[in-house]
């Protein structure tokens, strides 16, 4: 095989752009789908915020208090592993407070930015401890029941749901569309016979996939630019970091989705079958990427999956860039690194699958 | 005849798909600078043979060389090969011109060269007026023509055309064949598969495949001869019995049917000789059909 030539990569990229440009429906979807999704998810989930999100770090003991907290209808209890998890989620505005139960003490973390909710949580804890004390008195075991309740206030960002979800939706939409479009494009290359013709031309497999990455990247830029514009102007999500950094994250994610799509096109015989990949490839990412509920609440045995899915890193990085003003250096590890590795692995897999000798 | 090194040389080439032997120790030489027509019934292995030449599949057994290189190195000379697949390998959502530009770009044609080549080929396949139409909106024959133009764009030395004229109207087919023969005159090798015998007759060489083997090979005339088919001269004579007897006495193969004397000729040169003997009221020459030759040959095989 000859060395990759920029010229041929450019020729493939230009062709991909010409094809996509002509496909008005796809262009429309690329631009409007993110907006529609954001409205949908953003508002559907912000309604959910009326409940009180309370973290619970369970170190044992205090059965009556626990039972009391769980029994309160307005409380959404999220079980967490450690106090630091709870702290972080509160500071990110995803929890209103947390209760840490240990046999020797009860610690209460409250979000100082929403005092009303903090008050409700404190009152519930008081009531729960009172019940616990009453229970112990009837059984005559008063000793050790006089545990201190330590209360700590943390300043959360008090983010609206749209703020937390917006950046991640950008990643989700780019991933979804690039994956599907790339898989379909490669299936067509096969069924049209153009792939066979490439194989008998100076175009190498690396050049071909690179050309696709380049061509699709232009559309990813278009898509992320419009989405960023809409989330910041229409939905008022802050963009504290550089839009270029955000775009870099999305481009890397899009490139990963493209090679993944190319790779999976080998396992589908028709465009119709590509659609059947959605539940397999796309849905787990949506569920496990940490957009809708924090990764800490994903059951431990599934959590490793979250950490191999690219959307997890993209969502995390985008959130950091947009909400906290992170720069490239801040998200290099683990987010950009993970996205880069994902891209490289599937780039290699996709090119290897485009075998020259078909049989 | 320019019998240098053959453009393609296959020795005992064998390929199976599962238990089916699609190429069965096929041995064939395709000389450079000729039009070579590969014929054979559906499923006889024509497409498989072409795909083996460009190494789209690996041989089970046998050896093959392409333009003087072993087939294992054929990827180094892909820029000298023009391969037209049986499915047309175009992008329906690009225009005629965009499709051609894309393939020109793949082969690294420079701008000036590309423009000139594009015009020339658009002219040849008669699509100049349709250059801005989407390929997907073309008629079947036009689509086929565009595919041919894309295959020729980089002026390949070796052309492998798998049924290039399917659905193309007779006038344009004529143009195509003139073009192919011109290419062969320039020293290029053109390997074509077809199911049309009248096309095969236009080729310098014909190979007839059956069940993965070469049943017969040679120029169209040689094939006819091999099958024992001769041109027949039909004579309407004033005294058929007498003239028939006279011709027969001189060693001609004669048959009389409904008073028409039929002479089986060894060659066309014999027409003159026959006419020196008899003066017919009317006559007709019946050329043998290549199709019949192949039917005979494949029955014999
Ligand atoms: N990739 C493959 N896998 C399995 N069988 C195959 C494959 N390619 C071809 N065949 C079989 O090999 C045989 C020869 O096929 P081939 O396409 O070479 O025939 P052909 O002479 O080109 O026929 P046609 O005139 O219809 O184009 C057929 O029976 C076909 O089913
Ligand atoms: Mg065929």
Domain of B86, CATH number, reads 3.40.50.300
- In DSSP notation, A316-343 reads HHHHHHHHH---HHHHIIIIIHHHHHHH
Q: A52 in helix, strand or coil?
A: strand
pLDDT bracket for residue A338 (50, 70, 90): very high
Whether residue A244 sits in one domain with residue A125: no
Whether residue B123 sits in one domain with residue B163: yes
Chain B positions with Cβ closer than 8 Å to A: 17, 51, 54-58, 75, 78-79, 81, 83, 85-94, 98, 102, 105-108
Residue A53 has pLDDT above 90, yes or no: no
The token pair that represents B254 in the structure block: 């004669």
The verdict on whether omega for the bond into residue A334 sits within 30 degrees of 0, i.e. cis, is yes
pLDDT bracket for residue A47 (50, 70, 90): very low
Whether residue A259 sits in one domain with residue A147: no
Structurally, chain B folds into a number of domains equal to 2
- In DSSP notation, A244-305 reads HHHHHHHHHHHHHHHHHHHHHGGG-SSHHHHHTTIIIIIHHHHHHSSSSS-GGGS-TTTHHH
CA pair distance A166, A238, nearest whole angstrom:
10
Q: Which residues of A touch B55 (CB under 8 A)?
A: 356-357
CA pair distance A109, A113, nearest whole angstrom:
12
Domain membership flag for residue A27: no
Residue B2 has pLDDT above 80, yes or no: no
- For residue A48, the model assigns a pLDDT of 45
Look at residues A128, A153, A178 and tell me which one is the last residue of a structural domain: A153
Look at residues B165, B194, B218 and tell me which one is the last residue of a structural domain: B218
> Helix crossing, A6-22 with B96-106: angle to 10°?
160
Taking CA A273 as the corner, what is the angle to CA A272 and CA A278, rounded to the nearest 5 degrees? 105
Q: B195 in helix, strand or coil?
A: coil
The per-residue pLDDT for range B152-206, each reduced to its tens digit, is 999 999 999 999 998 899 998 999 999 999 999 999 999 999 998 888 989 999 9
- For residue B26, the model assigns a pLDDT of 96
Domain membership flag for residue A16: no
Residue A101: CB partners within 8 Å, gap ≥ 6? Answer: A56, A57, A58, A59, A60, A61, A62, A65, A66
Whether A259 contacts A347, CB under 8 Å: yes
- For residue B28, the model assigns a pLDDT of 95
Look at residues A97, A131, A153 and tell me which one is the last residue of a structural domain: A153
B132 C-beta closer than 6 A to ligand 1: no
> Looking at the complex, does the CB of residue A205 fall below 8 Å from at least one CB of chain B?
no
Q: A151 in helix, strand or coil?
A: strand
Whether residue B270 sits in one domain with residue B210: no
Mean pLDDT of B123-138: 95
Whether B235 contacts B263, CB under 8 Å: yes
- For residue A301, the model assigns a pLDDT of 86
Domain membership flag for residue A12: no
Domain membership flag for residue B54: yes
Domain membership flag for residue A72: yes
B47 C-beta closer than 6 A to ligand 1: yes
Whether residue A98 sits in one domain with residue A234: no
Whether residue A188 sits in one domain with residue A113: no
Q: Which residues of B touch A200 (CB under 8 A)?
A: 54, 56, 78, 81, 83
Whether residue A273 sits in one domain with residue A210: yes
Whether residue A78 sits in one domain with residue A169: no
CB contact under 8 A, A201 and B85: no
CA pair distance B301, B297, nearest whole angstrom:
6
Domain membership flag for residue A28: no
Better pLDDT: A312 or A51: A312
Supply the range of the domain harboring residue A336: 161-353
Nearest CA to ligand 1 atom 13: B43
- Note the residue count of chain B: 301
Look at residues B218, B249, B266 and tell me which one is the last residue of a structural domain: B218
Domain membership flag for residue B1: no
Supply the range of the domain harboring residue B169: 8-218
Whether residue B235 sits in one domain with residue B213: no
B35 C-beta closer than 6 A to ligand 1: no
Domain membership flag for residue B177: yes
- For residue A359, the model assigns a pLDDT of 46
Calculate the alpha carbon distances from B50 to A148, A338, B46, B88, B222 in Å.
86, 44, 6, 15, 24
Report which ligand 1 atom has the smallest distance to the Cα of B50. Answer: 18
> Looking at the complex, does the CB of residue A79 fall below 8 Å from at least one CB of chain B?
no
Whether residue B251 sits in one domain with residue B188: no
Look at residues A131, A153, A175 and tell me which one is the last residue of a structural domain: A153
Residue A168 has pLDDT above 60, yes or no: yes
Report which ligand 1 atom has the smallest distance to the Cα of B51. Answer: 18
Whether residue B166 sits in one domain with residue B111: yes
Q: How far is B55 from chain A (nearest CA, A)?
A: 6
Positive or negative, the Cα torsion across A353, A354, A357, B4? negative
Residue A3 has pLDDT above 60, yes or no: no
Residue B125: CB partners within 8 Å, gap ≥ 6? Answer: B145, B146, B148, B149, B172
Whether residue A185 sits in one domain with residue A75: no
Domain membership flag for residue A324: yes
Q: Which residues of A touch B81 (CB under 8 A)?
A: 200
Mean pLDDT of A217-246: 87
Calculate the alpha carbon distances from A317 to A46, A167, A222 in Å.
22, 9, 20
Q: What burial class does residue A140 get, using C-beta atoms within 10 Å of its C-beta: 0-12 exposed, 13-18 middle, 19+ buried?
A: exposed
Report which ligand 1 atom has the smallest distance to the Cα of B57. Answer: 1
- In DSSP notation, B8-24 reads EEEEEEEEEETTEEEEE
User: In testing the pocket of ligand 1, which one of B14, B17, B50, B213 has its CB within 8 Å of the most ligand atoms?
Assistant: B17
Look at residues B218, B251, B276 and tell me which one is the last residue of a structural domain: B218
Whether residue B250 sits in one domain with residue B165: no
Whether residue B178 sits in one domain with residue B239: no
Report ipTM for this prediction.
Answer: 0.83
Q: Which candidate from B56, B88, B107 shows the least CB-CB separation from A357?
A: B56
Whether residue A167 sits in one domain with residue A67: no
Whether residue B254 sits in one domain with residue B118: no
CB contact under 8 A, B57 and A357: yes
The per-residue pLDDT for range A319-333, each reduced to its tens digit, is 889 888 899 999 998
B43 C-beta closer than 6 A to ligand 1: yes
Whether A184 contacts A322, CB under 8 Å: no
Residue A166 has pLDDT above 90, yes or no: no
Q: How far is A222 from chain B (nearest CA, A)?
A: 21
CA pair distance A240, A194, nearest whole angstrom:
45
- For residue B301, the model assigns a pLDDT of 65
- Find, among B261, B262, B254, B270, the residue nearest to B238 by Cα: B261
Structurally, chain A folds into a number of domains equal to 2
- For residue A213, the model assigns a pLDDT of 96
Domain membership flag for residue A290: yes
Domain membership flag for residue B58: yes
Whether residue A192 sits in one domain with residue A113: no
CATH of the domain at A111: 3.40.1710.10
CA pair distance B21, A192, nearest whole angstrom:
27
Strands A75-80 and A97-102: unpaired
Positive or negative, the Cα torsion across B247, B253, B255, B260? negative
Mean pLDDT of A74-96: 84
Q: How far, in Å, is the centroid of ligand 1 from the Cα of B30?
A: 21
- For residue A1, the model assigns a pLDDT of 43
Domain membership flag for residue B87: yes
The per-residue pLDDT for range A118-134, each reduced to its tens digit, is 888 888 898 888 888 88
Mean pLDDT of A226-232: 85
CA pair distance A178, A213, nearest whole angstrom:
10
Whether B132 contacts B177, CB under 8 Å: no
Q: B73 in helix, strand or coil?
A: helix
CB contact under 8 A, B56 and A196: yes
B44 C-beta closer than 6 A to ligand 1: yes
Task: Name the strand (E) or helix (H) holding B171.
Answer: helix B170-185
């Amino acid at each position: 095989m000859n060395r990759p030539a920029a010229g041929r990569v450019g020729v493939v990229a230009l062709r991909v752009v010409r094809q996509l440009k002509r496909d008005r429906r796809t262009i429309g979807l690329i631009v409007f789908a993110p907006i529609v999704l954001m409205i949908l998810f953003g508002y559907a989930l912000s309604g959910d915020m009326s409940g009180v999100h309370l973290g619970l770090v369970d170190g044992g003991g205090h059965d009556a208090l626990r039972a009391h907290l769980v029994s309160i209808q307005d409380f959404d209890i999220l079980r967490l592993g450690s106090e630091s998890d709870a702290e972080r989620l509160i500071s990110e505005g995803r929890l209103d407070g947390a209760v840490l139960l240990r046999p020797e003490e009860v610690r209460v973390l409250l979000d100082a930015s929403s005092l009303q909710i903090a008050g409700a949580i404190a009152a519930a804890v008081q009531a729960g401890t009172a019940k616990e004390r009453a229970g112990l008195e009837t059984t005559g075991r008063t000793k050790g029941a006089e545990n201190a309740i330590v209360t700590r206030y943390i300043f959360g960002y008090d983010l609206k749901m749209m703020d937390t979800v917006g950046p991640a939706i950008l990643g989700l939409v780019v991933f979804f569309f690039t994956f599907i479009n790339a898989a379909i494009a490669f299936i067509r290359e096969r069924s049209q016979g153009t792939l066979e013709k490439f194989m008998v031309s100076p175009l190498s497999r690396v050049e071909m996939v690179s050309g696709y990455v380049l061509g699709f990247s232009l559309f990813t830029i278009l898509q992320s630019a419009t989405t960023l514009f809409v989330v910041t102007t229409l939905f008022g999500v802050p963009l504290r970091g550089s839009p270029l950094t955000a775009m870099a994250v999305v481009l890397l994610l899009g490139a990963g989705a493209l090679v993944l799509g190319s790779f999976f096109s080998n396992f589908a015989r028709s465009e119709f079958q590509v659609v059947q990949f959605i539940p397999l490839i796309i849905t787990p990412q949506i569920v496990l990427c940490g957009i809708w509920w924090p990764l800490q609440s994903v059951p431990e045995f599934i959590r490793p999956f979250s950490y191999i899915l690219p959307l997890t890193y993209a969502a995390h990085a985008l959130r950091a860039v947009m909400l906290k003003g992170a720069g490239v250096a801040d998200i290099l590890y683990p987010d950009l690194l993970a996205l880069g590795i994902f891209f490289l692995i599937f780039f290699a897999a996709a090119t290897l699958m485009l075998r020259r000798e078909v049989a | 005849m320019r019998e240098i090194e053959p453009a393609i040389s296959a020795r005992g080439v064998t390929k199976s798909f599962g238990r089916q032997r699609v190429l069965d120790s096929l041995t064939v030489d395709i000389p450079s600078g000729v039009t070579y027509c590969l014929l054979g019934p559906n499923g006889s292995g024509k497409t498989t043979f072409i795909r083996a030449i460009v190494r789209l599949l690996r041989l089970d057994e046998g050896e093959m060389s392409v333009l003087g290189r072993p087939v294992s190195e054929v990827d180094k000379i892909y820029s000298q090969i023009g391969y037209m697949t049986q499915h047309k390998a175009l992008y329906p959502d690009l225009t005629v011109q965009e499709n051609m530009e894309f393939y020109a770009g793949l082969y690294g044609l420079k701008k000036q060269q590309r423009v000139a080549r594009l015009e020339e080929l658009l002219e040849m396949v008669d699509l100049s007026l349709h250059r801005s139409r989407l390929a997907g909106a073309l008629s079947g024959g036009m689509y086929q023509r565009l595919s041919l133009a894309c295959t020729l764009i980089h002026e390949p030395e070796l052309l492998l055309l798998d049924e290039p004229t399917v659905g193309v109207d007779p006038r344009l087919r004529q143009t195509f064949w003139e073009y192919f023969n011109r290419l062969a005159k320039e020293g290029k090798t053109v390997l074509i598969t077809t199911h049309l015998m009248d096309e095969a007759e236009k080729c310098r060489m014909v190979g007839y495949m059956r069940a993965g083997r070469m049943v017969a090979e040679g120029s169209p005339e040689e094939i006819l001869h091999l099958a024992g088919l001769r041109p027949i001269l039909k004579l309407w004579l004033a005294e058929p019995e007498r003239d028939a007897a006279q011709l027969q006495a001189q060693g001609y193969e004669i048959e009389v049917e409904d008073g028409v004397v039929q002479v089986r000729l060894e060659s066309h040169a014999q027409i003159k000789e026959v006419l020196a003997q008899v003066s017919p009221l009317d006559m007709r020459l019946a050329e043998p059909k290549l199709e019949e030759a192949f039917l005979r040959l494949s029955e014999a095989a």
